[in-house]
Amino acid sequence: MIRVLIVDDDPFIRESMKMILELDPELSVVGACGDGNEAHRFFTDGQTADVVLMDIRMPNCSGVEGTLNIKRTSPDTRVLILTTFDDDDYIVEALRNGASGYLLKNIPPDRIVQGIKTVHQGNWLIHPDIARKLTGWIQPQSSVQTEAALEQVTQSRKDPFARFESYGLTPTEKQVVEKIAEGLSNKEIAQELFLSEGTIKNYISEILSKLGLRDRTQIAILYWKHED
């Protein structure tokens, strides 16, 4: 059962979304909040959810700020942005704050349900246009030396992993990076590499440390960036 928290400032949308989601036997709506502050309090009060369905534009605390606060309090919770606004800047900022993707509210209900299941599995939903914008935002936390190394490794196009040599990734770690960039979940990566899901999680933690990044979405974005 996937526990879902709905966050939207419109009571009608909250109630309608609750009815739609609970038609699916795999989903359970554990709460509904009117803004990002209420959603954050939901977690600080000791409650939990697997996926937060988050509106972007709300009074008091937007979905952008709400996403940041929730991910700080509950890093394993997935945040899926749901908005009527095709507003790239807000969406990019929410993704930078840890959201796993976004959907527009005018899509069919079954696609919203599928989107929740997709991000819950560890995958993400990002339109290619948004992904290209994100490449300009994501930078490794290391300094000028890393930037110089990146300039050198991006000259190589024959070996898709050559650009990561300066980070000291092992062959298996490079495989994991590639699978993440393809959008595979931890379970799917484990199956393809014949490893346990726990081992894959350990590999990802080590990769994040070496690359100086925060989450698997940033790994994929960095990979794409040096594919350009």
Residue 44 buriedness (CB in 10 A; 0-12 / 13-18 / 19+): exposed
Tell me if domain 2-126 and domain 135-225 are identical in fold: no
Amino acid (1-letter code) at residue 193: L
* Amino acid present at 172: T
**The predicted structure's pLDDT at residue 136:** 56
Amino acid of residue 156: S
pTM, whole model, 2 decimals? Answer: 0.64
pLDDT of residue 127: 62
Question: Digits of tens for pLDDT over the chain (228 positions)?
Answer: 999 999 999 999 999 999 999 999 999 999 999 999 999 999 999 999 999 999 998 988 999 999 999 999 998 899 999 887 666 778 878 888 889 888 887 788 888 998 999 899 887 777 655 666 665 555 444 444 334 433 433 343 345 566 667 788 888 998 898 888 877 888 888 888 888 888 999 999 999 898 888 888 778 777 776 554
Q: What is the pLDDT of residue 55?
A: 92
Residues 6 or more apart whose CB falls under 8 angstroms from that of 221 comprise 131, 134, 135, 138
2-126 has CATH 3.40.50.620 classification: no
Its CATH class, for the domain covering 135-225, is mainly alpha
The domain ranges of the chain are: 2-126, 135-225
Residue pair 180/189 in contact (Cβ under 8 Å)? The answer is: yes
| Cα–Cα distance measured from residue 101 to residue 92, given in angstroms and rounded to the nearest whole number | 10
Query: Using CA atoms, how far apart are residues 144 and 52, in angstroms rounded to an integer?
Result: 37
Whether 140 contacts 131, CB under 8 Å: no
The pLDDT tens digits for 191-206 are 888 888 889 999 999 9
Please report the pLDDT score of residue 225 as a whole number. 64
Q: What is the CA radius of gyration of the chain?
A: 18
Alpha helices in 4-61 (DSSP H): 11-21, 36-44
Residues 144-182 have pLDDT tens digits of: 433 443 343 334 334 556 666 778 888 899 889 888 887
Give the model's pLDDT for residue 151: 43
Q: What does the pLDDT read at residue 125?
A: 79
